[in-house]
């Protein structure tokens, strides 16, 4: 079961903020009135005793739920702002972006490159920029509710053709430079360096798989996405185009990597993402 962390975070911020507000507006004034009445009942000599100060502190103290809410609210609010509008961490769960991204990579996603959006709802409230071909984008696909990460291949107005495992964007072939056979002695994959727009990146093709000619016209408000592991990627070729409102952000860096299982995380793959 996938956990909707953004929704949980928003609920916690609203809940702790509401408790803090109720305490300041309603409960705190009542406590102060109780303290004043308590002081009036005590003589000057009693007010000098240590037990008097302890009693005042007890009357002033918030309920444990209120105390924790006041402590956690600013922290949760800061996390919500950073995660919703600036940078969000994301872990790569599959090999669909090999060789660019590996299973276990932890990446950072810029949340404002493509516009400021409301948390959970995803509604754009401030336009900043638009995805361009070659970007690596995190999004919610039309058939799932969890995050996916792929490369932008087609933007609104583009015509995409995929023939003999080569891309044609608006009639122009995306250049591919052969790099290597993997593994060298008994190859099953071919490694290429491809250029889409201004971006150069590595892609991987299966040596023994073929794909028929396919074509797509990208309408306004939609994007065509593909994985760099071309024959091992569930992407727009199979489940369709990504609507603009499903965009999450642009991936820009690998900050840590952890191999599956009982392995410690490391920094050997730290790099900017191409």
What is the SS3 assignment for the chain? CCCCHHHHHHHHHHHHHHHHHHHHHHHHHHHHHHHHHHHHCCCHHHHCCHHHHHHHHHHHCCCHHHHHHHHHHHHHHHHHHHHHHHEEEEECCCCCCCCCCCCCEEEEEECCCCCEECCCCCCEEECCCCCCCCCEEEECCCCCCCCEEEEEEECCCCEEEEECCEEEECCEECCEEEEEEECCCCCCEEEEEEEECCEEEEEEEECCCCCCCEEEECCCCEEEEECCECCCCCCHHHHCCEEHHHEEEEEEEEEEECCCCCCCCECCCCEECC
Q: 150, 233, 236, 250: which one is catalytic? A: 150
Question: Does residue 115 share a domain with residue 59?
Answer: no
Same domain, 114 and 226: yes
- Give 180's pLDDT tier (boundaries 50, 70, 90): very high
pLDDT tens for 138-173 read 999 999 888 999 999 999 999 999 998 999 999 999
**Residue 40 and residue 102 in one domain:** no
The parent domain of residue 13 ranges over 5-84
Domain boundary among 84, 110, 139: 84
With a threshold of 0.85, does the pTM exceed it? no
Q: What is the pLDDT of residue 47?
A: 66
More confident residue, 50 or 197: 197
Identified catalytic residue from 69, 84, 96, 236: 96
Is residue 96 flagged as an active site residue?
A: yes
Does 31 share its domain with 114?
no
């Amino acid at each position: 079961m996938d956990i909707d962390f953004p929704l949980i975070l928003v609920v916690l911020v609203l809940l702790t903020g509401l408790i803090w507000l109720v305490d300041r507006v309603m409960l705190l004034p009542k406590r102060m009135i109780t303290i004043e009445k308590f002081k009036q009942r005590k003589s000057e000599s009693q007010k000098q005793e240590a037990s008097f100060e302890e009693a005042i502190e007890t009357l002033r103290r918030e309920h444990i739920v209120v105390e924790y809410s006041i402590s956690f609210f600013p922290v949760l609010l800061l996390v919500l702002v950073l995660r919703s509008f600036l940078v969000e961490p994301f872990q790569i769960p599959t090999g669909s972006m090999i060789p660019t991204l590996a299973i276990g990579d932890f990446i950072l996603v810029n949340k404002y490159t493509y516009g400021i959006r409301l948390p959970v709802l995803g509604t754009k409230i401030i336009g900043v920029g638009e995805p361009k071909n070659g970007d690596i984008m995190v999004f919610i696909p039309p058939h799932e509710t969890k995050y996916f990460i792929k490369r932008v291949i087609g933007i609104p107005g583009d015509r995409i053709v995929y023939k003999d495992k080569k891309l044609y964007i608006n009639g122009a072939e995306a250049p591919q430079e052969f790099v290597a056979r993997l593994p060298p002695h008994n190859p099953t994959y071919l490694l290429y360096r491809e250029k889409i727009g201004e971006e150069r990146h590595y892609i991987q093709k299966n040596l023994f798989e073929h794909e028929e000619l396919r074509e797509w016209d990208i309408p306004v408000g939609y994007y065509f996405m593909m994985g760099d592991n071309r024959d091992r990627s569930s992407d727009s070729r199979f489940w369709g185009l990504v609507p603009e409102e499903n965009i999450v952000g642009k991936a820009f860096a690998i900050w840590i990597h952890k191999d599956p299982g009982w392995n410690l995380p490391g920094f050997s793959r730290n790099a900017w993402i191409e």
